[in-house]
Amino acid sequence: MRTVALLSSLALAAIACSPTPPAGSPAPATGGTGAGVVAAAPSQQGGQPGQPGPGGPGGPPRRQPPNPMRQDTARRMMVDSILRTIAGRENEPAGTVFKNVKLLSAMPAGAFLRNMDEQYGRGLGWTCNNCHVLTNFADDSRKNKRIARQMQEMTDHINTVRLTSIPELDKEYDKATCVMCHRGVNEPKGSMPVPQPAPVKSGS
């Protein structure tokens, strides 16, 4: 049963990280272009000659952004599946329960999984396979996983060294986290729009 649950979670994770297809997406072609090849409607490839497609002149249609709710569901299923495999060890250090844990190894395994879900997953708008090889979570081959480790080290340094060295911060404050900057997107914005005056209501 654990194997079935894990396979189901892997499948849903793969689906969730795929963009939601636009309305009216074409069905796979049944002949002439090979199995599984999508036959695009003329409007998706630019329509009439000389007319640019929605993704640019002569380009493919724009990819739709991932669906956050589908991503959250996929991550929760994955976390729940892993929690079932470590049942009874949730309060043991993550470094003793999981392989190749180089940071946060003293955090309880259950909290470690929730941190992965809420801070790394939801915080960056990602699913597990953006950083992990789902068949081998200890694998370090993915660049995003290596970046995440360094970002965690940066966050730890901010919290334990930089913020604690500011004497004027004499009140309780939230510690730096992935969510604090990323706010659900992989590439946080470095600017913000200029405030605009509220529209004037007619007759006021």
Which pLDDT does position 54 carry in this prediction?
52
> Mind listing the pLDDT tens digit for each residue in 142-171?
999 999 999 999 999 999 999 999 999 888
Rounded mean pLDDT of 35-41?
36
Give the amino acid at 173. Y
> What angle, rounded to 10 degrees, do the helices at 2-16 and 68-85 form?
160
Distance CA 50, CA 43 (A): 12
Distance CA 29, CA 126 (A): 31
Distance CA 152, CA 114 (A): 15
Q: pTM for this one?
A: 0.62
Distance CA 116, CA 200 (A): 45
The structure tokens listed for 171 are 């009140």
- Give the three-state DSSP class for 93: strand
| Mean pLDDT for all residues in the chain | 77
> Mind listing the pLDDT tens digit for each residue in 89-104?
999 999 999 999 999 9
> Which residues have CB under 8 Å from 46's CB, separation 6+?
52, 53, 57, 58, 59
Distance CA 53, CA 44 (A): 6
Whether the Cβ atoms of residue 29 and residue 38 lie closer than 8 Å to each other? yes
pLDDT band at 65 (very low <50, low <70, confident <90, very high): confident
Distance CA 161, CA 191 (A): 26
